[in-house]
Every structure is written in C-alpha cells, then in structure tokens.
Structure 1
Amino acid sequence: MTCAAPEEGCALLLGRRGSPHGAAVPWHGQRIWPCLNTWPEPAERRRRFAIDPREQLLAQKWARQRGLAVLGAAHSHPSGQAVPSPTDCALTLAPALMLILAADGDLAAWWLDDTDRQPQPLPWRMDA
C-alpha cells in the first residue's frame, strides 16, 4: 500500500479465513486490493476515507473466484500514527483486520474483535 498524502489512501485486504496454524487471528492475508478514496466531501479526505461499493463488489467477486475473502481494510493516516482511531473502530464491521500506514512510514496490523471492539496489535510480516 502506498500513501496517498495529503489524503487518506485505502485498500481492501484479501486472504483466507481459518488458518490451520492455531494463530490468535486464524486468517492469512494474501493480497492488498488498492481502492480510491471516495469520501463524499473532498476536503475531509485528509482524515476520512470511504471505499466505493462497486470496488468492494469487484474485489469480493475476484477474491471468491480464487477461494479468497475480504478480511478487512487498509488505510493511511497521512498526518498521524499507525494506530486505529475511535472512528476507525466505530466504522469497521468486526471481526476484521486493519492495516494502517502512518505518516512516518510505520505500518501496523490490528485485529478488531466482534466482542470487545478494542483493537489488538498483531505481529505480522509481508512475504515477497
């Protein structure tokens, strides 16, 4: 994922659910599907993002044809840290993965559970 500064960039996270490895989050991300930020008020796109529903449907169809699913979303904080904001948590349909790119280039993964809604940091790696 690249930064779309000064606006927030966004993408969908595609992968497989139900990893047999017994991880705390039994999902395995495999693809990042870049999306346009279509937040309705362009001036607000510096701190808000929205993914076009048509892009979501296209990504879901593409993923399903390959045995994958949409696991969550990635976005940037062009003037902040790689930590989910209260708005990020409130607008995310849990359970979900979150990947956030900060202004300083830090990239962090988070798990949002559907029980306590408190984001949990995840250890992660990006395979080539």
Structure 2
Amino acid sequence: MTAQAPDQLRVDGHWLIVLERTLNAALPEEGCALLLGKTKDKSLELHRVWPCCNRWEPARERDHRFLLDPREQLLAQRWAREHALQVIGSAHSHPTSAAIPSQTDRELCFGPTLMVIASGLGNKRWRAWWLSGDDDGCEPRELPLRQGLAAGDQRLGK
C-alpha cells in the first residue's frame, strides 16, 4: 500500500453490489472484507472484494466490533500478488451507526490504509476513508467515492 494519500476511490458498481451482499450476510453483526485493487496516479481502484469472517471475541460484541482473520489476510495478499493486485484496504459495516470510523476503528488500524464503511442508517450509506497512520495516529480523511474505473465521474454515497 502506498504511503501517499490518494485523492479518491474508484469503484466498479459490480463490486459495490458484491460488497453490500457480503456485509449484509453478516447482519446483525458487523460484516467485513478486504479490498483488492491498484494505485493509479493519485487514485485507488477497487478491483476485487475478498469476503472475510468476523473473528472478534467475545462473539456477543460482533454487532459493534470486527476483527479480520489473519489467515484470510495472508491468503488475500498471496492471491492479490499472483493477480497483479494489492490489498488496498478493508471494508466493514456499522449496522446501527454512521459510516464514520469509530474510536476503536482508529485505535486498531495499521495505516496507511483505506477503510470503507457501510452504514445501516441515513442516506449516506457508503463512505471511504484514508487513515494515514502517521505521527497523528490514524486520523481519518474522507475520500470521494466514484463509480466506474473509466472516465465516469458519478459520485456514490450521496
């Protein structure tokens, strides 16, 4: 993952459908996935969604906490390398709260990284965040989420 902050996340609409179904399948718990893609110029491009199991313990807290399985992370990294991609970040759901990184999300992140959050509330369902992980910690900066890997400029999450 590049340490330089991207200026946007470009997503093919198909992968948003896959991501939405992956996260919804975990309800009422938080769902989670790894995001595989590429860095192109100053943009991140999402090319694949790697569904993951929420391994947070104790299990009764999975409605507001998630933990990616380290074995799934290793498999995703290996697969991504074999297909000229990289793990560009992760996604998870906030079934009962806004699509903003929680204090726990920020404390447990290893930046620099991309974090996409889907909310079960309100109009702005999808939001993308860049967490730098520099001396300021993992302070989130919202990224525009744009549909289409080509020339389109349709904003998502609004």
TM > 0.5: yes
Residues 58-69 of structure 1 aligned to structure 2 (within 5 Å): 58-69=75-86
- TM-score relative to the length of structure 2: 0.72
- TM-score relative to the length of structure 1: 0.88
Corresponding position of 2:127: 108
Corresponding position of 1:15: 37
Which moved further from structure 2: 74-83 or 114-123?
A: 114-123
Cα distance, 1:88 vs structure 2: 0.4
Cα distance, 1:79 vs structure 2: 0.6
> What CA RMSD, in Å, does the superposition of the two structures yield over aligned residues?
1.6
> SS of the counterpart of 1:46?
coil
Corresponding position of 2:65: 48
Gaps of 5+ in 2: 1-18, 150-158
Cα distance, 1:37 vs structure 2: 0.7
The one-character-per-residue Cα deviations of 1:27-63 (angstroms, maximum 9, x if unpaired) are: 3222111111111211010111111111111111110
Partner Cα distance (2:72, 2:139) in 1: 28
Corresponding position of 1:125: 146
Partner Cα distance (2:65, 2:133) in 1: 22
The ranges of structure 1 where at least 4 consecutive aligned residues each deviate by more than 3 angstroms after the TM superposition are none
Partner Cα distance (1:126, 1:55) in 2: 27
Which moved further from structure 2: 90-99 or 112-121?
A: 112-121
Partner Cα distance (1:114, 1:28) in 2: 20
Gaps of 5+ in 1: none
Partner Cα distance (2:95, 2:145) in 1: 21
Q: How much identity, in percent, do the aligned residues show? A: 49
